[in-house]
Structure 1
Amino acid sequence: MNHAKIIGTGSYLPKTILTNKDLESRLDTTDEWIVSRTGIKERHIAGPDEKTSDLSYEAALGAIASANISPSDIDLIILATTTPDKIFPSTACTVQARLGIKECPAFDVQAVCTGFVYALTIAEKFIKTNSAKNVLVIGADRMSSITDYDDRSNAILWGDGAGAVILSASNEVGIISTHIHASGNYEELLHVPRHDKASHIADTIEMKGNQVFKIAVNTLDRIVDETLENSGITKSEIDWLVPHQANIRILEATAKKLDMSMDKVIVTIDRHGNTSAASIPLALDEGVRSGKIIKNQIILMEAFGGGFTWGSALVKY
C-alpha cells in the first residue's frame, strides 16, 4: 500500500450566479470583451452567510460519498484556501468539526491558485510514509470576499466554490509525480495588501494582469517539461489536462505545448471564473461525474498563482 490514489471526488458551487451581463450594468465593460479576453461568461458568488467552510463541507460530503467511505475513516484533512473563515482556527478544523471527525490532524495550506496541488503533494507524502491512509484534500475559496467590484480588471475574473478529493493508500499507482515551486520576488504583481484599519481601505486583490499572464504562460511551459522529464511519461500518454482555470488563453497555450486538442482539456472557466484553489478539484469532479475521465486514465493537473507559486500533479485516475 505504498501508492496514493484518488478514490473519490466532490464539489460545490454557490447558487447565486453573476453573469457578464450583470457586470455590464455596474462597470465599463461588455460581455463580448470579457469573453474574448478571459473566456469567462459567468461565475458563482457565495451568499452573505456562506463561508469558505460551508463550501468546503459540501464538497467534502460529495467526495466522501463518491469514495464510499465514512467520515470516521478519514485520518487527515488538508484544506487549501486563501480566504479562511477566520485568522484562526484553520478552516480545516472547522470542517473537521462539522464532519464529526475526532482528533485527526487538520490544517490549512496557502498557495493561492496552486493551493490544491500543494495540498495534494503534502497528502501524498503522508500516505507514502505510512502516516495516513485516507486524506481529505479540499481546495476552496470565496474570492468575492477579496474582490473590488469597482475595479474592472479584477471584478470580471473571480468566483467562489470548493472541490475535494479523498486520497487513499493503495496497491495501485495513483499519483505518479508532483512538482511544486515558489518565488517571492513577484509579490507586487499579484497580491492582497494589508491596510491599516484606520485607513478604511478594503484589503482586495491587486494585479498587474499583463505581466502575470506572460510569466504564467512561460512558467507553465517549464512545469510541463519538468513533469514529463521526471515521470518518463510522454505527451501522447496524457489523456486529460485538468488545469487551473485562470484564463482560456493560458489553457489553450498549455494544450498546444502538449500537442493536445482542447477536447481533451477540462474547461470550466466559462461557468466558474477563477476560483483559485478550488478550480482544479472543481474541474476534476466535473470531468469524473460527466464520464469523461475514467479509471486508469492519465491526468495532468497544473497551476500558477500568487507568490508566485506554481506546480503540477501527474495522476493515474
Structure 2
Amino acid sequence: MRQCIGPAHAWHEEQAKAPRTVGHYLHHQAQQFAESDAVIFEQEVLSYRQLDELSSQWAQLLLEEHVSVGDRVGLCLDRSQHMLAALIGILKVGASYVPLDPDFPDDRLAYMIEDSGLQHLVTQETHIKRLPSVAHILNTDLISERLSQQNTACPDVTIPEDTAAYIIYTSGSTGKPKGVVVPHASVMNFLHSMAEKPGLQADDTLMAVTTLSFDIAVLELYLPLWVGAKIIIAKKQDSSDGRRLLSLLIKHQANFMQATPATWRLLISSGWQGEPRLKALCGGEALPLDLAEELLQRCSELWNMYGPTETTVWSSCAQITQTQTPPGLGLPI
C-alpha cells in the first residue's frame, strides 16, 4: 500500500457526482454560476455562461477539425479572454494543449513545436510567419464567423483521467527545453487542494499575470472557475510594468494574486502600499526574508509556494506569518 505523505481530501458530496476531467468539470461549475462574472479582459466581461458557451464552440470547432482525445494542440495567442476560451475548448475534447508564448524566441518556439509532435496549431495572423508549418492550423483571425456558428453545447466526449491535459516545457537541467506531460487527474487533484488551502472563494477576484508557458498559470486560469470567482487577465504589458499592474489591481479591487518574487518587487517599487484584503502567493523562486517582510506589511495573507512542474505546479505551501526565521516550504498539498 502506498503511504500518503500529504493530506488526503475526500470529494464533497456535490463534487463526487461531477466530471473528473478539467474541461467538463469547468462546464459543470459554469452551470452553478451561470450569470456571475467569470473573466474580465480590458473592457470586455464574460459571464460563466458566456465563457462556457464560447469554449464549447471552440470544442465543437476542434472536433470539426478532427481533433481527438490524446491529440496535441499548440496554442500561440496573445493574452485575452479568447485565449482562455480556446484553452478550455481544447480540454473539453480531450486533447492536450502545448502553450507557446508569443514572446519566446523563434528558435525556442520551433523546438517546442517539433519536439512535442503537434498535430494542430491555434494561433493568430501576427504570429503565423514566425512558426514552423504544422499539418492543421487554425488562424483565429480567419475563423471568427465559423466559430460563432458552432453549437454552444459542451461535447459529450469520453476522456480517461490519465489523458494529458497539457504539456509544459521547462528549461531542463541541460538548458534545453524539456516537455512535461501532466494528466487531467493530477490537475484535478491540484485544483481541489488549492481551493481548500491557500483557499479561494466565489466572491474573490484573482489577478492573472503569468504567461501560459509557466505552469503556475494553471492556478490563475482554472482555480477561479473551479469555485465561482472572477479572473482579471492582465496583458503582458501590464504584468511587466509595476505602475500599470498597480493601476489594474486598484481598478478591479483584486484580492488574490500569485506571482514570482521579481513581480512582487516590481509592484512594491511602483509605490504599492498594499491591500488589506489581498491574499498573496509567492513562488517560482525562493522567497527572500526581506521580501516576505515587505509583503506581510501590505496584505492579509502571505503564502510561500513550492513545486516542480513534474509534480503539477505546487507540491507544498506554507502560510508565512513572521519573519524571524526564513520562510519554510510547509507541508505537501
Do these two structures clear the TM 0.5 threshold for a shared fold by scoring above it?
no
- Greater relative contact order: 1 or 2 (C-alpha under 8 angstroms, separation 6 or more)? 1
Q: TM-score, normalised by structure 2?
A: 0.28
Q: Which has the larger radius of gyration?
A: 2
Q: TM-score, normalised by structure 1?
A: 0.29
Question: Which structure shows the bigger proportion of residues in strand conformation?
Answer: 1
